[in-house]
Amino acid sequence: MKYKDYYDILGVPRTASLDDIKKAYRKLARTHHPDMSKAPDAEVRFKEIGEAYATLKDTAKRAAYDELGHPKPGAEFRPPPQWQEDFAPGGMSFEDLDLADLLAAMGRVQRGGPQQVMPTKGQDFETSVTVTLEDARRGTTVNLTLADGTGERTLQVTIAPGASQDQKLRLRGKGGKGRNGGPDGDIYLHIKLAPHAVFRPDHHDLYFDLALAPWEAALGAEVEVPTLDRPVLLTVPPGTRSGRKLRLRGRGLLADHSDLYGVVRIDVPTQLSRRETELFQELSKISSFNPRATKP
């Protein structure tokens, strides 16, 4: 296996205190995090930094690591012969391990003593739930049924008002039970919005098709439109064209912070009375409007 100088990776002396190691790790982790750094090797560096910190922050692993001495970084080496006996119970071989795996094995035992069981975090779960747009706006409570090693259990979860499509909620400590004093796992809950007969969500905003008669669009009107709460009056300005979006503030999924939009669609009657036909014919004769004319 190849030797890695964890002290050099963190940029601290071999005599560094735990506080110095933590400070160095936090600084480097921020600098080389793949979401922060554009360097092509950022992900590799971030993984090395985490590996070094995981070893040096643990007293047992650090002591075992220090026993290796100080080989040249990248040099091939083999652990001292007595390590096979002390740190590889059950005849485990070090041949196919890398340095991180080797030190993890060492950290689980005490030299010359009984095996030390390490704390283990409980299992994380991912699941999804579908809610109506009405419940997404007002908030709701749902029951989740989870099956793990202890059997099936039901968990009641409150979804706050303003949920959106594909929003992910993290329920800390609600997953599998930790072992040997380790923390409980988490549940990651993905929110899905049920299709609605009228409204289409876009993040927290909502859209619906607003059908207008030609005279309503031309002259302006006050029309009643639906919302997730109750019908309201919407003012249509004179000269409203098809495709225009008319906004109702605060009527989206997140009250007071999102909106409802009516997308105008001008409709025409399919059957006309004799008088209606006469009026449309008269309008066609006196109007100079040409929807196909080139706009300036």
For residues 280-295, give the mean pLDDT.
89
- Burial label, 21 (beta-carbon count in 10 A; 0-12, 13-18, 19+): buried
Quote the pLDDT of residue 117: 54
* Topology (CATH level 3) of domain 200-286: HSP40/DNAj peptide-binding domain (2.60.260)
Using the Cα atoms of residue 232, residue 233, residue 237 and residue 242 in order, give the sign of their dihedral.
Answer: positive
Res 96 pLDDT > 70 = no
The 10 Å Cβ neighbour count of residue 61 is 21
Residue 246: which pLDDT band, with cuts at 50, 70 and 90?
very high
- pLDDT level of residue 231 (50, 70, 90 thresholds): very high
Question: What DSSP character marks residue 5?
Answer: -
What is the predicted pLDDT for the residue at 113? Answer: 46
pLDDT digits (tens, 9 = 90+) for 5-50: 889 999 999 888 988 999 998 888 888 887 778 888 888 888 888 8
Question: What was the pLDDT predicted at 150?
Answer: 65
What pLDDT score was predicted for residue 112?
46
Give the pLDDT of residue 109: 44
Write the class of the CATH domain 125-193.
mainly beta
pLDDT (average), residues 216-223: 97
pLDDT band at 88 (very low <50, low <70, confident <90, very high): very low
Question: Can you give the pLDDT at residue 42?
Answer: 83
Does residue 246 contact residue 226 with C-beta atoms inside 8 Å? no
| Torsion angle defined by CA atoms of residues 203, 205, 211 and 212, in that order, rounded to the nearest 10 degrees | -140
List the end-to-end C-alpha distance of the chain, in Å, as a whole number.
75
**Residue scoring higher pLDDT (140 or 57):** 140
pLDDT of residue 50: 85
Calculate mean pLDDT across residues 72-80: 66
Q: How confident is the model at residue 194 (pLDDT cuts 50, 70, 90)?
A: very high
Tell me what pLDDT residue 239 has: 95
Q: How high is the pLDDT of residue 63?
A: 80
Question: Where does CATH 2.60.260.20 sit in the chain?
Answer: 125-193, 200-286
Given a cut of 90, is residue 264 above it in pLDDT?
yes
Higher pLDDT, 261 or 291: 261
What's the CA gap between 190 and 47, in Å, rounded?
28
- What class is the 6-107 domain? mainly alpha
pLDDT in tens, 98-154: 555 555 555 444 444 444 556 777 888 889 999 999 999 999 999 988 876 667 888
Per-residue confidence (pLDDT) for residue 133, from 0 to 100:
97
Q: How confident is the model at residue 236 (pLDDT cuts 50, 70, 90)?
A: very high
Q: State the number of CA atoms in the 13 A half-sphere of 216 facing the CB.
A: 18
Contacts of 95-99 with C-beta under 8 Å, sequence gap 24+, read: 97/1, 98/1, 98/2, 99/1, 99/2, 99/3, 99/4
